[in-house]
Amino acid sequence: MRIEMIINIFIQARMSSSRFPGKVLAPLKGVPLIKWLIDSALSIKQKNQVVVLTSTEHSDDPLVAYLKEIGCAYFRGHLENVFNRFQKALVQFPCDYFVRLSADSPYLQPDLIESLIESVQQVCPDFASNVYSRKFPKGQSVEMAKTVVLQSIVDAWLTDEDREHIMPYFYRSTDKYKGLYFDTLVDRSTENMCVDTVADLKRLEQFVNAYSLDKQALSIATTS
């Protein structure tokens, strides 16, 4: 049975990438990189709000100015402790579940986001992910978590990796939390649709065949 729930989509973004500073506003086919993902997120029917989560550092002021220009909601928090940033954003933008996306994934397919959301609405796990098996292409990563669960986690339990990437804590704690994992029968982990460098951006400028989700190849598993 499908459970009605409030779901926010949080896009994690910052301008201070070490390999490609300012990449989230770099133009991809004439459009700022982050705008591609914002538009995909806005197309998700089940979402409540789309919010970009960035930092309070001055380096992210240009990103915030752009978000204001296009009318996209945003939240500013700690630069390095992203876990804390998400926890505080959930107070300002309350929801039952949130979807975590990375701004460097311009070609992330809405069908993939919607499929994970639909499964979460059926199963109501503590967290959900298509990243655990690492068979989806880089740049096609979607993760979700239940707000009350994330808010119950204290900083002392976390490693530096947890604070930066959020979900590794759940992957290490499958005995404590109910998880939902998306897997795929077709291993496409060698494909890269993510922007980490200027070379990636130039490569994606020439990208023609976008990733297409094959629902017939999906495998869904849960832990409890």
Look up the CATH number of the domain holding residue 12: 3.90.550.10
pLDDT of 212:
78
**Domain membership flag for residue 1:** no
pLDDT of 38:
98
Measured at the CA of 82, the angle between CA 69 and CA 154, to 5 degrees, comes to 140
Backbone angles phi, psi at 78, to 5 degrees: -65, 140
pLDDT of 50:
98
Q: 208, exposed or middle or buried, with CB in 10 Å at 0-12, 13-18, 19+? A: exposed
In tens digits, the chain (224 residues) has pLDDT values of: 788 999 999 999 999 998 999 999 999 999 999 999 999 999 999 999 999 999 999 999 999 999 999 999 999 999 999 999 999 999 999 999 999 999 999 999 999 999 999 999 999 999 999 998 889 999 999 999 999 999 999 999 999 999 999 999 999 999 999 999 999 888 999 999 999 999 999 999 988 666 778 887 888 899 87
CB of 144 within 8 A of CB of 46?
A: no
Domain of 13 in residue numbering reads as 7-223
**Domain membership flag for residue 35:** yes
**Domain membership flag for residue 148:** yes
pLDDT of 170:
96
Please list, in sequence order, all residues whose beta carbon lies within 8 angstroms of the beta carbon of residue 172, skipping any fewer than 6 positions away.
none
**Domain membership flag for residue 139:** yes
pLDDT of 209:
64
Neighbours of 7 (CB within 10 A): 21
**Domain membership flag for residue 2:** no
Closest among 80, 100, 46 to 164, alpha carbons compared: 80
pLDDT of 186:
87
CB of 7 within 8 A of CB of 116?
A: no
**Domain membership flag for residue 156:** yes
Domain count for the chain: 1
* Paired strand residues for 52: 11, 74
Q: How many angstroms separate the CA atoms of 76 and 217, rounded?
A: 38
Please list, in sequence order, all residues whose beta carbon lies within 8 angstroms of the beta carbon of residue 92, skipping any fewer than 6 positions away.
75
**Domain membership flag for residue 175:** yes
